[in-house]
Copies of this chain bind each other. A is one copy, B any other.
Amino acid sequence: MEDRIEISLSTCKKLKPEPDRLGFGKAFTDHMFIMDYAPETGWHRPRIIPYQPIQLDPAAKVFHYGQTVFEGMKAYRTREDRILLFRPGKHFQRLNRSNERLCIPPVREELALEALKQLLLIDRDWIPAEEGTSLYIRPFIIATEPLLGVAPSNHYQFIIILSQVGAYYAEGIRPVKIMVEADYVRAVNGGVGSAKTAGNYAAGLKAQETASGLGYAQVLWLDGVQRRNIEEVGSMNVFFKLNGKLVTPYLSGSILDGTIRDSILHLLKHWEIPVEERIVTIDELVVAFRHGGFEEAFGTGTAAVISPIGELYWQGERLLIGKGDTGELTRRLYDTLTGIQYGRLADPFGWTVEVAE
């Protein structure tokens, strides 16, 4: 494997969007990282090039058999103008776990991180400074071999693109309403639910579209076997505070091992607040609600960090959570995590990684 990263800089720079109109995953930076895989050479020719379209044969396997994985993380600009990444090593480890499940050859995690750092330094002017904004990082791998046989590809590309993201909570952190999905299933044990791969998201589009049409922000997925066990909310992990106790679905094999989820488990341990990782059923939530014990609920993921849930809709019933406001613990976790991410709070866990020349 050749590790020196070739760099060719863009000769014309794009206009950056206005800071208050960043949106999510719309405006991409001036450069991208790309690296190829071939059986005889392994991963080779790592390079940073101007952001540009990719050319693929129409028979490329990614179009037909979805052999692809991705990651999502963020770079934050601190008040002192430092650039921080949040647990990038954990993201690249998960990328390789996804690769393993999808029969994609692993990437060397150190090289991926080095490539990301160099790319961020080249496009550092794109990392926004406004409160709550950041630069979203999307590493992904696609199967490029033009061959229609159903078998793992012999050729791949590993690509990193960067995109400005606006403040998720422009008007302050606010609870959302969620619909519990009774018909569609996102993933099942033995499937690819624990891998960050395209097919899981394709499978979720229909339910999400239906929920949006009914005025709900996201879908809460139940497991595909019992159809009672809570899995994820949208593309986030989920936590509940029931009768004073925190619970979250355990990593059953059909849900994603989220970085924010893991960070929250560490924080709670540090704070000596007990949390149970176990099967959580929809029935348990209904019972807690009926007895006035459904105190807090929130989703966790890289995009929103913490997304408080104010209401669940399940089989004709609206379960109001707490008083419909953001719970106390939810807010404390949000403030602490974002504080660490933006370098405003101490980082006792060594989670942040500075990007510097």
Contact = CB atoms under 8 A, between A and B. Distances in A.
A138 B197 CA distance: 23
Given A66-B202, A191-B224, A103 B209 contact: yes
Contacts of A65: 198, 201-202, 205
Given A185-B188, A188-B188, A188-B225, 7 more contacts: A54-B55, A54-B57, A65-B201, A102-B206, A191-B203, A192-B199, A199-B200
A57 B26 CA distance: 11
Interface string A180-213: 0001111111111000011111111110110000
B102 A205 contact: yes
Nearest to A184: B190
> Could you say which interface size class chain A belongs to?
35 or more
Contacts of A224: 188-191, 224-225
Given A64-B138, A199-B200, A201-B66, A59 B192 contact: no
A206 B103 contact: yes
Contacts of A59: 25, 28, 138, 161, 163
Contact of A57 (B53, B64, B206, B208): B53
Contact of A199 (B103, B190, B198, B206): B198
A148 interface: yes
B148 A209 contact: no
A64 B198 contact: yes
A293 B27 CA distance: 64
A24 interface: yes
A235 interface: yes
A191 B188 contact: yes
Contacts of A316: none
Nearest to A203: B192
A84 interface: no
A101 B206 contact: yes
Interface string A151-186: 110000001010100000000000000000001111
B208 A25 contact: no
A24 B152 contact: no
A58 B66 contact: no
A55 B56 CA distance: 7
A342 to B, nearest CB: 22
A24 B147 CA distance: 8
A32 B66 CA distance: 21
A58 B161 contact: yes
A209 B102 CA distance: 10
Q: Which among A56, A68, A147 has the greatest number of chain B C-beta atoms within 10 A? A: A68
Contacts of A198: 62-66, 198-199, 202
Given A65-B198, A209-B103, A150 B188 contact: no
